[in-house]
Amino acid sequence: MGCGTVSTHGSRLDELTTWDADWAGLRVVVTGIGLSGFSAADTLIELGARVVVVDGRDSEGNRAKADTLDIVGARQVLLGGSAAETLPLVDGEPAELIVTSPGWSPEQPLLAAAAAAGIPIWGDVELAWRVREKAGRKTAEWLAITGTNGKTTTVGLTASMLQAAGLRAIAAGNVGTPILDAVRDPEGYDVIAVELSSFQLHWSHSLSPLASVCLNVAQDHVDWHGSYGNYLADKAKVYANTRVACVYNAEQRETESMVEEADVVEGCRAIGFTTGMPAISMVGVVEDLLVDRAFIEQRKDSAAELAAISDLGEVAPRHLVANALAAAALVRAYGVEPAAVREGIRSFDPGAHRIQKVAERHGVLWINDSKATNPHAASASLAAFPSVVWIAGGLSKGVDYAELVSLHAARLKAAVIIGVDSAGLLAALERHAPDVPVIAVPPRETGSGQPGGSGEALAGGDRIMARAVEAAAQIASDGDTVLMAPAAASMDQFRSYADRGDAFIEAVRGLGEGPAQTG
């Protein structure tokens, strides 16, 4: 019901498939005034729709955005908790459409009321797909990317490869540039690498990308989706209506099953990626080379060299290789040549907080992977190093740590646990790694790191991280890696995973053991 496919409003909305369609006067409620919500409201106002915006937070930043939307023509902007509880009217009449920010759950009262009333609900990505075509503007092809982990890295690699091929391309969606901002670019793009979260996919239903990939799946956001099955179903929507290539993880059966069950455009191919030897119609690894056995005529008995693993940099764990292969498959589906794949990999900057080498002192490697916000991502990080002092913990989001700990117990020299929601992780360590020393850094007793928490409370995260780093330094010795891969969200003690990563970097630099060999 969340996609709004059953509705008396459908007949008009069915016609709204280009920028130049008749959007004038359409009554729309936009929920959320963050990056995607603001972009959606601004777009709809420009299209001539009558727009009411709702957000549950009445903050200074939101009031400033509300003032801007008032100036450009919003009918109303309603802020505060009570505003998000009921479905508002638009100019005294019921809304014809809801456009929601991706983080809003289907169970949220306003959205639940809209669904019960048969009012269609779109996300910003659905809106972007419908307005991507405009007279006089280049219409970009979409390469759609989702997965529990690795989305942002893969989207960045994809855009870098496209740009290396001389194409006007951008990474957008769940990372960086809001998708509607990319679509509205006056010049337009040749290709957009679109990162799609499970939330965004939930609220999308008419996308038809040139190529698509689900990189991997593992338990995540179960609290939002209601069950792991629902989460998988939303992830699988990335493949719907794909036209040229559905790219899947050959090492994870779930993603292959998604492709097998997807309703795609006739002629669309299934292309696997693997960090092992590729079979026909796959990309993979031969010795230390990334190779293509999917997009060459002689694929039955040969492969085309795309890049070397060393092109990925000094630290190239298995999951980074997998991400590069997935990106290569997407751009090869578009027609990018192998030389541009290699150049795109070499010029790609992965950014901070993703398997980031912070320092190397006395034979101890210090790695920041604060972006590892769930067990699946942390597992990929742990697998890259043989002897680990592991700094972990935070908001668990309802996941189970048993498999993660049992899989990597043998490589753990010690675990240093932070966070206010660490009971599940501690229990898993006690049960599945009983011989691994565990140091629990006490959480602060007051304050909240949740959005809206006090600055003083958030500052406590720096002190907690400093204690965790000091504890790890006491244990680590030559040949060890101190890995901060929390397997949990950050907002209990930090503003974001980036804030958490920055705190780790500063704490390592503050050890006072001489200059670091930074990478």
pLDDT at site 121 = 97
Neighbours of 58 (CB within 10 A): 14
Q: Residue 398, annotated ligand binder?
A: no
Decide if 404 contacts 428 (C-beta within 8 A): yes
Long-range own/partner contacts, residues 166-171 (CB < 8 A, 24 or more apart): 166/340, 167/191, 167/336, 168/138, 169/193, 171/195
* 137-347 matches 356-509 in fold: no
pLDDT at site 178 = 92
Q: Residue 2, annotated ligand binder?
A: no
pLDDT at site 316 = 83
- pLDDT < 70 positions in the chain: 1-10, 219-226, 444-459, 512-519
What pTM did the predictor assign?
A: 0.79
Decide if 75 contacts 51 (C-beta within 8 A): yes
Q: Report how far residue 57's alpha carbon sits from residue 59's, in angstroms, rounded to the nearest whole number.
A: 6
Q: Residue 147, annotated ligand binder?
A: yes
pLDDT at site 271 = 98
Q: Report how far residue 214's alpha carbon sits from residue 517's, in angstroms, rounded to the nearest whole number.
A: 36
**Locus of tokens 């008009």:** 12
Closest CA to 319 of 504, 502, 505, 148: 148
For domain 137-347, is the CATH number 3.30.360.10?
Answer: no
Tens of pLDDT, residue by residue over 1-43, are: 333 333 445 689 999 999 999 999 999 999 999 999 999 999 9
The domain limits of the chain are: 10-127, 137-347, 356-509
Structure tokens at 267: 């002629």
Q: Report how far residue 367's alpha carbon sits from residue 357's, in angstroms, rounded to the nearest whole number.
A: 5
- State the DSSP code for 444: P
The crossing angle, in degrees rounded to 10, of helices 124-131 and 35-47 is 40
Closest CA to 380 of 328, 420, 321: 321
Q: Residue 148, annotated ligand binder?
A: yes
Tens of pLDDT, residue by residue over 373-411, are: 989 889 988 988 999 999 999 988 778 999 999 999 999
Q: In CATH, what number does 356-509 get?
A: 3.90.190.20
- The CATH superfamily holding the domain 10-127 is NAD(P)-binding Rossmann-like Domain (3.40.50.720)
Q: Residue 152, annotated ligand binder?
A: yes
Q: Residue 68, annotated ligand binder?
A: no
pLDDT at site 512 = 65
